[in-house]
Amino acid sequence: MRVLGIDPGYDRCGVAIVATSSNPAHDAVVLFSTCIETDRGASFDERLFAVVVGIEKSIVAHSPTHCVLEGLFFSANKTTALKVAEVRGALRVLARQHNLPVHEYSPAEIKMALTGSGNATKDVVARMVRMRSDVGERSARDDEFDALAIAITGLVSLGASRR
């Protein structure tokens, strides 16, 4: 099983693809991860297009079998939340075009699955991503680690539900 995990955004979008690990020390092998950063001077449509194109390249290159999105988190900034919702809609269409079933987990569900606490900090989540995958000690943006956390959650949850 190969899972595409996405931390949706139009400024920065975390993307990760993980697969089931044959190493008993890890749940996941990281096949790919990145943070797509768009030009802040570009229009929203251009930024949305850049995110979709970047993720489609990842899908074509790594052939995931499932897509997992972080659920929409409503912050005080409703304009940002609405634009992130548009990104999520475009990503759902993209996943459908590539015959990928889409699964969704809330931030609290992801934290709970990885750390045992729905209130875990980003540092604790990143530490668990390192422990549960072969990502090692490389540094990455928070969005990339969030995507890895999302993908690992999906991999473990979907794998467990198939047993």
Q: What is the pLDDT of residues 63-107, one digit of tens each?
A: 999 999 998 766 656 778 889 999 999 999 999 999 999 999 999
Mean pLDDT of 134-142: 76
Query: Residue 136 region, left (φ>0) first, then alpha (ψ -120 to 50), else beta?
Result: left
Q: What is the pLDDT of residues 4-54, one digit of tens each?
A: 999 999 999 999 999 988 887 788 899 999 999 999 999 999 999 999 999
Q: Note the pTM of the prediction, 2 decimals.
A: 0.91
Q: Which pLDDT value is given to residue 163?
A: 43
Q: Which pLDDT value is given to residue 74?
A: 60
Distance of CA 64 to the CA centre of its chain: 12
Which positions are catalytic?
A: 7, 70, 143
Residue 153 has pLDDT above 60, yes or no: yes
Q: Which pLDDT value is given to residue 75?
A: 61
Taken in order of first residue, the domains within the chain and their CATH numbers are 2-161 (3.30.420.10)
Residue 161 has pLDDT above 60, yes or no: no
